[in-house]
């Protein structure tokens, strides 16, 4: 039997020793699409960060693809879109460059991009409807377009698991529809979504 993609068991997670989540358990199996709902400040982003090892887990355990989080190294299997990070962040990168950075975990920084890399980047740009903006600096895009750039970056890596934290906040209805279509394709290809 294949192990769960994400398995959080009885986890306590917090910041500066102040717990935000207590005794939280979550199992996401391959092919599932799981949505986490809750009020602002209820700990959704904290839960996602704990799953990815971005905040330490006090009590309890976290495993990814059957491997304890601490020993997990196969980051190319996971695409992550954080909540409102600002894709620009002052770096004068183009949309295509930001999306191509989603391939780095897969090909390694030192190996030049090959045909498969270029095709994955082009497909991801098409999926979010930004092909015509590929050459533009990310900083010149609107907030929603920057958010779509980050979704494309996560898709470009060809992950098995997509972890999306409020991915469509600030994204207009037409683009949300395109995003839903891209997610549908990802799921139909066997992908898992949190």
Site for ligand ATP in 136-165 (CB under 6 A): none
Q: Closer to ligand ATP at the Cβ: 50 or 124?
A: 50
User: Cβ 52 to ligand ATP, closest distance in Å?
Assistant: 13
Site for Mg ion in 40-59 (CB under 5 A): 44-45
Tokens of 193: 């979504």
User: Cβ 40 to Mg ion, closest distance in Å?
Assistant: 7
- Span of 26-34, 39-47, 56-64, 103-111 interacting with ligand ATP by CB under 6 A: 39-47
Q: Closer to Mg ion at the Cβ: 41 or 108?
A: 41
Q: Does 56 bind ligand ATP (CB under 6 A)?
A: no
The number of C-alpha atoms within 13 Å of 80 and in the hemisphere containing its C-beta is 16
Helix%, strand%, coil% for the chain, nearest 5:
40, 20, 40
Site for ligand ATP in 1-30 (CB under 6 A): 15, 20
Q: Does 108 bind ligand ATP (CB under 6 A)?
A: no
Rounded CA separation 178/148 (Å): 10
SS3 for 8-73 is: EEEEEEEECCEEEEEEEEEEECCCCECCCCCCCCCCHHHHHHHHCCCCCECCCEEEECCEEHHHCC
Q: Does 29 bind Mg ion (CB under 5 A)?
A: no
């Amino acid at each position: 039997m294949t192990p769960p993609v994400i398995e959080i068991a009885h986890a306590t997670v917090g910041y500066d020793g102040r717990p935000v989540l207590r005794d939280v358990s979550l199992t996401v199996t391959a092919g599932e699409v799981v949505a986490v709902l809750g009020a602002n400040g209820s700990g959704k982003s904290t839960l996602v960060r704990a799953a990815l090892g971005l905040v330490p887990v006090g009590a309890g355990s976290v495993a990814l693809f059957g491997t304890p989080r601490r020993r997990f190294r196969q980051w190319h299997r996971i695409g992550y879109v954080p909540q409102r990070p600002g894709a620009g962040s002052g770096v004068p990168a183009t949309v295509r460059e930001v999306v191509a950075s989603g391939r780095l975990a897969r090909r390694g920084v030192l190996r030049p991009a090959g045909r498969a890399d270029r095709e994955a980047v082009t497909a991801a740009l098409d999926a979010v409807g930004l092909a015509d903006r590929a050459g533009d600096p990310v900083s010149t895009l609107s907030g929603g377009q920057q958010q779509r750039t980050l979704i494309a970056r996560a898709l470009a890596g060809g992950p098995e698991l997509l972890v999306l934290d409020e991915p469509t906040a600030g994204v207009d209805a037409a683009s949300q529809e395109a995003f839903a279509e891209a997610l549908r394709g990802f799921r139909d290809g066997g992908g898992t979504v949190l």
